[in-house]
């Protein structure tokens, strides 16, 4: 009972902090405060053991924010956010378990309905009006971070050279591409990697489009020959990056086809016995 009282008070103050940060803070600060408030509310419901679905919803919302925040900021901040995500997983699974148990795990239809409801809840982590608003906030924060990073970005390293990147639009595309490359390096399911590659190719192609538009605006003026050389070198670099990741995507496709082929061969071998 004492713990619940403390959590109730913590949840109240966290909600007030989130409201204040939403009114006065920047986008990232507001999201961090919202995630903390949602976490405190989830812990209160978790300890009360009366509303497992409400607790799961709060935990899932908190996880969504921290997963997005883990892609922003410096390395230390990203590590802290990933740690938060890992800490939330057991609580989410426990809520799911209790939701299923509350519906009756026995032979009736209730158990199946409850389990289905838990699965649906997990899928709803990025859906619904509330989540649409959350995603909009996350995208706004991401855009703010990208804008700041683009302002400070002056060049990229490629093949031992430092190539100036003077266009803000080109910088944003390259920064987005770099983030996607980092996500690909982090592993994941085949379908997820396929989606990341598609987004990566869009960013590289947009970067090339901006570079070539800059070249076209110059119109071949001799006074801008040095600038034209810079842009051509940057175009070559982005093209090479695109080709390299196209080859990586093709290798992924080949590996997936090989796995599927072996699986079919093994299945046919078993059937023929």
pLDDT at res. 91:
82
Number of CB atoms found within 10 A of residue 48's CB: 14
pLDDT of 232 strictly over 80: yes
pLDDT at res. 221:
54
Phi and psi angles of residue 149, each rounded to the nearest 5 degrees, phi first: -65, -40
pLDDT of 110 strictly over 90: no
pLDDT of 147 strictly over 60: yes
This prediction has a pTM of 0.51
Question: Whose CA is closest to 163, among 222, 235, 216?
Answer: 235
pLDDT at res. 152:
76
Calpha distance 62→168 (Å, rounded): 32
Calpha distance 228→207 (Å, rounded): 16
**pLDDT cut 90: percent of the chain above it:** 23
pLDDT of 114 strictly over 60: no
Calpha distance 158→189 (Å, rounded): 29
What token pair was written down for 145? 């971070």
Q: For the chain, list the domains and their CATH numbers.
A: 2-141 (1.10.3450.40), 154-272 (no CATH)
pLDDT at res. 116:
43
pLDDT of 209 strictly over 90: yes
Contacts of residue 212, Cβ cutoff 8 Å, sequence gap at least 6 = 235
- What string of H, E and C letters represents the secondary structure of 165-213? CCCHHHHHHHHHHHHHHHHHHCCCCHHHHHHHHHHHHHHHHHHHHHHHH
pLDDT of 85 strictly over 70: yes
pLDDT of 266 strictly over 90: no
pLDDT of 210 strictly over 90: yes
pLDDT at res. 106:
41
pLDDT of 68 strictly over 90: no
pLDDT of 154 strictly over 90: no
Average pLDDT over every residue of 57-81: 83
Q: Which tens digits make up the pLDDT trace of 12-36?
A: 999 999 999 988 888 888 888 988 9
Give CA angle at 67 (138, 71), nearest 5°.
Answer: 75
Average pLDDT over every residue of 227-249: 94
pLDDT at res. 189:
84
pLDDT at res. 135:
58
């Amino acid at each position: 009972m004492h713990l619940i009282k403390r959590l109730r008070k913590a949840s109240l103050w966290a909600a007030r902090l989130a409201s204040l940060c939403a009114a006065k803070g920047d986008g990232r600060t507001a999201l961090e405060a919202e995630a903390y408030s949602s976490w405190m509310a989830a812990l209160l419901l978790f300890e009360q053991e009366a509303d497992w679905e409400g607790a799961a919803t709060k935990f899932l919302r908190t996880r969504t924010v921290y997963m997005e925040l883990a892609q922003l900021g410096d390395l230390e901040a990203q590590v802290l956010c990933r740690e938060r995500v890992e800490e939330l997983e057991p609580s989410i699974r426990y809520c799911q378990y209790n939701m299923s148990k509350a519906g009756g795990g026995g032979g009736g239809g209730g158990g199946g309905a409850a389990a289905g409801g838990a699965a649906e809840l997990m899928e709803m982590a990025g859906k619904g009006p509330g989540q649409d608003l959350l995603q909009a906030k996350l995208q706004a924060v991401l855009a703010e971070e990208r804008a700041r990073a683009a302002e400070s970005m002056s060049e990229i390293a490629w093949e031992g050279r430092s190539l100036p990147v003077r266009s803000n639009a080109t910088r944003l595309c390259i920064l987005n591409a770099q983030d996607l490359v980092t996500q690909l390096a982090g592993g994941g399911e085949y379908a997820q990697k396929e989606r990341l590659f598609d987004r990566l190719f869009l960013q590289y192609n947009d970067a090339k489009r901006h570079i070539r538009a800059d070249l076209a605006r110059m119109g071949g003026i001799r006074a801008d020959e040095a600038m034209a050389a810079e842009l051509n070198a940057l175009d070559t670099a982005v093209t090479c990056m695109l080709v390299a990741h196209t080859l990586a995507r093709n290798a992924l496709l080949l590996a997936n086809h090989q796995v599927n082929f072996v699986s079919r061969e093994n299945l046919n071998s078993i059937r023929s016995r």
